[in-house]
Structure 1
Amino acid sequence: MISRLSGPLYKITIFVGTLFLVNTLIFLTNIPFVFSLVFIPLKTENLIPIFLTAIPLGPALVGGYAVIWRYMCTGEYSVWQRFWQGYKTNFWQTIGLSALVAIFISLLTYNLQLMMASGRMTLFFYPTLILLGGLIPVFFVACLLISRFEMSGRNIAINTLFFMIQNPLKSLMALLVIVVFYLVVALTAWKVLYLLLFSLPLYLLLINYRELVRLIEIEKGFEY
Structure 2
Amino acid sequence: MKNEIFCIILDYCGGVRTNILYKKLTKWNPGFKIHVLDNASPENKCDFITHQNKINSGVGGGIRDCIKLAREYGSKYVMFIANDIVPVTKIDIGHLMEIMEFNDDVVQISASLTKNSDKKYYPWMTNMDNGDNRLVHHADLLCSILDLDFIESFGGFPESKSGWGYDWEIGYQAKIKNKKIVISDLYRIKHVNDIKNNSSETWNIKLQELKRVYNKRYGNFNVIKPFFDLDSIS
Q: Which has the higher strand share?
A: 2
Q: Which has the higher helix share?
A: 1
* TM-score bin (small chain): under 0.3
TM-score, normalised by the number of residues in structure 1? 0.28
Higher Rg of the two aligned structures: 1
